[in-house]
């Protein structure tokens, strides 16, 4: 059976991706910080073959430990990540550095570690979970938006480098999605999410899986999100930044 490693698999989009890959017949390697939640998910996914590895990817060396325990996979899904809401000057430095470590450094490390084996096998797929936030500056979530811009740019660049190798790279760019992300980032009062009907994690996961299997470089689930991203391409950055600030402001 082909195998998939999914980070941040204990909740939200990662959990739903685990269910989608299990239904497609994959052996799963699931990682997140919470051992108990991972084991419960593994039990729920039976009869699929599931291995859990509890690791906190915001800590240095965690990516290398995961690779040591699971040195070969057919698909890598870099989903783990979190956001912090509020003005940059007011937010905790340690929390934002942990965010950069998880959203950027760990993603790069896992990609670097697994890519040589995929290239050697001339087969493999990598999904990096970015966001529609990647297409614009994000006042009141400045670091989060910047990390997702990195993920998108990085994914597009290496997708180009890997053409002809048998390995594809897909950046999944969902808009606001109904998960634990908002609670963890303390953004329940943000105008982007408060009172808004958000896409389900299952819908995002299914769109991401289909795009990954089709070899697409960028997947933006939902027509409204696609139209929003297209409008950003033709709008002045100064205007976009002001609009995002208004949308993010507490309601």
CA distances from 200 to 30, 116, 119, 138, 203 (A): 21, 34, 34, 22, 5
Active site residues: 144
Cβ partners under 8 Å of residue 105, min gap 6:
none
Backbone angles phi, psi at 4, to 5 degrees: -135, 135
- Asked, as a colleague might, if the bond just before 37 is cis with ω within 30 of 0, I would say no
Question: Taking Cα atoms as reference points, which of 170, 100, 140 lies closest to residue 244?
Answer: 140
Question: Taking Cα atoms as reference points, which of 112, 104, 93 lies closest to residue 58?
Answer: 104
**Structure tokens of 1?**
């059976």
Cα(211)–Cα(135) distance, rounded to whole angstroms?
Answer: 19
Helix axes 142-161, 107-121, angle to 10 degrees: 10
Cβ partners under 8 Å of residue 194, min gap 6:
188, 251
Query: Helix or strand or coil: residue 25?
Result: coil
């Amino acid at each position: 059976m082909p195998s998939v490693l999914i980070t941040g698999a204990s909740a939200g989009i990662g959990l739903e991706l685990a269910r989608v890959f299990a239904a497609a017949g994959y052996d799963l390697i699931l990682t997140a910080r919470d051992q108990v939640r991972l084991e419960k998910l593994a039990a729920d996914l039976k009869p699929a073959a599931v291995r859990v590895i509890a690791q906190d990817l915001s800590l240095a060396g965690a990516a290398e430990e995961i690779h040591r325990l699971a040195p070969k996979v057919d698909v890598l899904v870099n989903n783990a990540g979190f956001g912090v809401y509020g003005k940059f000057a007011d937010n905790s430095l340690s929390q934002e550095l942990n965010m950069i470590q998880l959203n950027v450094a760990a993603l790069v490390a896992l990609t670097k570690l697994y890519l040589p084996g995929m290239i050697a096998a001339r087969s493999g797929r990598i999904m990096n979970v970015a966001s529609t936030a990647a297409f614009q500056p994000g006042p009141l979530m400045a670091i989060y938006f910047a990390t997702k811009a990195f993920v998108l740019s990085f994914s597009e660049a290496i997708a180009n480098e890997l053409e002809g190798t048998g390995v594809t790279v897909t950046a999944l760019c969902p808009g606001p999605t109904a998960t634990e992300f908002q609670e963890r980032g303390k953004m329940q009062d943000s105008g982007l999410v408060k009172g808004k009907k958000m896409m389900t994690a299952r819908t995002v996961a299914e769109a991401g899986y289909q795009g990954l299997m089709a070899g697409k470089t960028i997947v933006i689930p939902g027509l409204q999100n696609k139209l929003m991203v297209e409008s950003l391409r033709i709008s002045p950055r100064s205007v976009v930044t002001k609009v995002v600030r208004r949308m993010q402001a507490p309601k």
